[in-house]
Amino acid sequence: MKGNTLTPKALAKKVAAFALAKKAQNIVLLDLRKLTTMTDFFVICSADSDTQVRAIADSIRDGAERAGEKVWHDEGQGESTWVLLDFVDVVVHVFHKETRSFYNLEKLWGDANFEHVEDKPAATAVRRKARIPKKLVRQ
């Protein structure tokens, strides 16, 4: 059931972050609000293996539950080449790479607004030269 704690866009972004935590690739948010009434957003991502598809789906399910959102319906856990997690206002598609290219949802929903989500590298730490206290410097 829907937890009503996050807006659909906020939930879509959180779901994308949970997918990134398990190294999901090519994450795209599709804004469908102007195209259909069945859902507001699709979150689509890819994985290299069936095991990774399951890990990403589990991460999304667990993270969303901790955020107060529950999956209303899910499909595909058995095969793990395409797992669908339906949060009502946000529908998540976790694909194995080959399965994603076969179904090509981005082309099917090509009129949607797309937002690509990437893992932002941490800011590079500035390295400073260590200062040695004067009393430790030999003279």
Query: Domains in the chain: how many in total?
Result: 1
Is residue 133, in this structure, part of any structural domain at all? no
Provide the residue range defining the domain that includes 100: 8-121
What is the tens place of the pLDDT at every residue in 33-51?
A: 999 999 999 999 999 999 9
Is residue 79, in this structure, part of any structural domain at all? yes
Is residue 102, in this structure, part of any structural domain at all? yes
Is residue 36, in this structure, part of any structural domain at all? yes
What is the tens place of the pLDDT at every residue in 104-130?
A: 999 999 999 899 998 775 444 444 444
Is residue 103, in this structure, part of any structural domain at all? yes
CA distance 107 to 76: 22
Is residue 24, in this structure, part of any structural domain at all? yes
User: Torsion-angle region of residue 104: left (phi > 0), alpha (psi -120 to 50) or beta?
Assistant: left
CA distance 56 to 92: 11
C-beta of residue 106 within 8 angstroms of C-beta of residue 28: yes
Is residue 128, in this structure, part of any structural domain at all? no
CA distance 127 to 119: 23
The pLDDT assigned to 27 comes to 95
What is the tens place of the pLDDT at every residue in 78-114?
A: 778 999 999 999 999 999 999 999 999 999 999 998 9
The pLDDT assigned to 129 comes to 42
Is residue 2, in this structure, part of any structural domain at all? no
CATH of the domain at 117: 3.30.460.10
